[in-house]
Amino acid sequence: MTRLPGWMLLSILAAAGSSADAQQVLIRDAKVYTESAQGTLEHADVLVRDGKIAAVGKGLSPPAEGSVIEGNNRPLTPGLFGGISALGLGEVVAESSTWDAQLNLDAAGGPKWRPDFDVTLAFNPRSVLVPVTRIEGVTWAVLSPFSKNSMVSGQGAAVTLDGRFDAAMEGSRSLFISLGGDSKSRTGGSRAAQYMLLQQAFHEVRAPRSPNEGALLNAEGREALAPYVAGGRIVFEVERASDIHQLLLFVRRHDLNAVISGGSEAWLVADELARARIPVILNPLDNLPDSFDSLGARLDNAVLLHRAGVRVAFSAGDDYNARNIRQLAGNAVAHGLPWEVALAAITTVPADIFGVGAQHGRIETGQVADLVLWIGDPLEITTQAEQVWIAGRPLSMRSRQTELRDRYLQRATLQQ
């Protein structure tokens, strides 16, 4: 067993790269936010073996083979959720040749509703956005598709950001459907038509129509939609309170498994949401009436939902700055959300919502070791991640941005 100061060990591990993954690691004397029944443990240890958390507690024995990291009671949290976005689905959004998050079937024949469009197939773990994001403590994110032609955007899933090609996390596959004003142009100009069209599509799963009967779906589309009609997770992007209310009626009628994304007016129907046990993924910074769908946007939306018993997770829908998820949580605290609830909104709650909570989002024996050691309060904007592990492997804390920084720092130093 080797025993080294944390910083020295970390640089060795970073240099060792992937060969370190068979090792055991003991992170000793950290302030461990377990997000589990154990709560927050001061001066606690976390033992990582084979990529999983093997033990959490005080005074754990160092592994016979492996390394020890001294935490000095700095915060250790589960790896953070990066929100719902197109992270890794492209490089430069203004350069369409580099961007794969959006389906445009304007020029294509046949039905325009393609629930079989699975955007995760375009995920590139080698995108420069991935290291930029993960070195800030974000270890996983949800990819969402967009369709120019249909309110049914397609399918997405959660992905781990450690660089593996097969990054989709088991059990996280979801269908994305866009409701309300944002989607009117794709549904004949009226939001009322959205339920009419959804009703038809759901009906087509059981009773197919031919194209000349105005079918929305082809055979592949029906096959893709069927599991969602039968209870698979559907993320509804919706803002206006009356739309959320109509959605809840629709969800109950069809016995759907729904998640709300957006929800800037969700506080107005908080009790309904609580009764229906439907969680809301929102941006706690949304406080402006960006459209007539969000006239009721307010900074304490998350607080009001939480008080009503609604599970709340955070997302800004940001690709390039998915790393700013902590800033959302910190601001939610500033506006009245309990600190622990805000941390849960970027760890356990989204993990549970997307069906990966048994493996990710907590520091608990048996969970995948996605961990972040912070230099201070993880929700504070001046805090940075000192070391990030995904599946027990310490990540290189480098990105294209740190390379550019160091190149110009060297020049600035030479000139002086």
Partner 1 sequence: MNAVLRSIWCAVAALVSLAALAGEPYPSTYRAQSSAPTLIRGATVLTGTGQRLEAADVLLVEGRVAAVGHDLTAPPGARVIDAQGRWVTPGLIDIHSHVGVAPTPGVEGNDDGNEMTNPATPNVWIEHSIWPQDPAFETALEGGVTTLQILPGSANLIGGRSVVLKNVPAITYQAMKFPGAPYGLKMACGENPKRNYGEQHQSPATRMGSLAGFRQAFIEAQDYRRQLDKAAKDPKSGPVKRDLKLETLAGVLKGDIRVHVHCYRADDMATMLDLADEFGFHIAAFHHGVEAYKIADQLGAKGVCAALWADWWGFKMEAFDGIQENLAFVDHARNGCAIVHSDSAQGIQRLNQEAAKAMARGVSMGFAIPPERAIRWLTSNPARALGLGDRIGSLEVGKMADAVIWSRDPFSVYALADQVFIDGVLLFDRQHPAAQPRSDFKVGQGTP
Q: Considering only CA atoms, which of 194, 133, 147, 209 is closest in space to residue 400?
A: 133
Torsion of CA 322, 327, 330, 334, to 10 degrees: -130
Among residue numbers 175 through 204, which ones bind partner 1 (CB under 8 A)? Answer: none
* Contact residue for partner 1 among 121, 196, 219, 334 (CB under 8 A): 334
* Contact residue for partner 1 among 60, 93, 193, 308 (CB under 8 A): 93
- The reply on whether position 126 binds partner 1 by CB under 8 A is no
- The region of 23-31, 198-206, 212-220, 398-406 touching partner 1 under the rule CB under 8 A is 398-406
* Contact residue for partner 1 among 95, 166, 213, 255 (CB under 8 A): 95
Minimum distance of partner 1 from residue 321's CB (angstroms) = 6
Minimum distance of partner 1 from residue 295's CB (angstroms) = 5
- The region of 38-46, 61-69, 71-79, 316-324 touching partner 1 under the rule CB under 8 A is 316-324
* Contact residue for partner 1 among 273, 333, 351, 390 (CB under 8 A): 333
Q: How far apart are CA 215 and CA 13, in angstroms?
A: 56
Q: How far apart are CA 333 and CA 302, in angstroms?
A: 10
- The reply on whether position 384 binds partner 1 by CB under 8 A is yes
* Contact residue for partner 1 among 21, 70, 91, 182 (CB under 8 A): 91
Q: What is residue 14's three-state secondary structure?
A: helix
Q: What is residue 135's three-state secondary structure?
A: coil
- The reply on whether position 378 binds partner 1 by CB under 8 A is no
* Contact residue for partner 1 among 60, 193, 285, 308 (CB under 8 A): 285
Binding-site size, partner 1 (CB under 8 A): 42
Q: Which segments of 57-141 does DSSP mark as H helices, in order? A: 129-134
Tally of CA atoms within 13 A in the half-sphere of 414 that contains its CB: 6
- The reply on whether position 379 binds partner 1 by CB under 8 A is yes
* Contact residue for partner 1 among 331, 359, 367, 396 (CB under 8 A): 331
- The reply on whether position 92 binds partner 1 by CB under 8 A is yes
Q: Considering only CA atoms, which of 205, 214, 103 is closest in space to residue 153?
A: 103
Q: What is the 3-state secondary structure (H, E, C) of 290-316?
A: CCHHHCCCCCCHHHHHHHHCCCEEECC
- The reply on whether position 170 binds partner 1 by CB under 8 A is no
Contact 125, 165 (CB under 8 A): yes
* Contact residue for partner 1 among 295, 308, 341, 358 (CB under 8 A): 295
Q: Which is nearer to partner 1, 261 or 399 (CB)?
A: 399
Task: Return the bridge partners of 236, or none.
Answer: 177, 260
Q: Considering only CA atoms, which of 239, 222, 218, 220 is closest in space to residue 230?
A: 222
Tally of CA atoms within 13 A in the half-sphere of 114 that contains its CB: 19
- The region of 1-9, 35-43, 242-250, 331-339 touching partner 1 under the rule CB under 8 A is 331-339
* Contact residue for partner 1 among 67, 147, 155, 324 (CB under 8 A): 324
Q: Which is nearer to partner 1, 46 or 379 (CB)?
A: 379
Structure tokens at 14: 């970073």
- The reply on whether position 7 binds partner 1 by CB under 8 A is no
- The reply on whether position 289 binds partner 1 by CB under 8 A is yes
Q: Considering only CA atoms, which of 251, 273, 379 is closest in space to residue 326?
A: 379
- The region of 201-209, 242-250, 329-337, 355-363 touching partner 1 under the rule CB under 8 A is 329-337
Q: How far apart are CA 374 and CA 329, in angstroms?
A: 16
- The reply on whether position 405 binds partner 1 by CB under 8 A is yes
Q: Which long-range contacts (CB under 8 A, 24 or more apart) does 93-102 make?
A: 93/319, 101/143, 101/144, 101/145, 101/146, 102/145, 102/146, 102/147, 102/148
Task: Return the bridge partners of 157, or none.
Answer: 143
Torsion of CA 268, 272, 273, 275, to 10 degrees: 150
Q: Which is nearer to partner 1, 15 or 404 (CB)?
A: 404
- The reply on whether position 381 binds partner 1 by CB under 8 A is yes
- The reply on whether position 398 binds partner 1 by CB under 8 A is no
- Which residues in this chain contact partner 1 in the complex, by CB under 8 A? 91-95, 128-129, 285, 287-292, 294-296, 298, 319-321, 323-324, 327, 330-331, 333-334, 379-384, 401-402, 404-405, 408-409, 412, 415
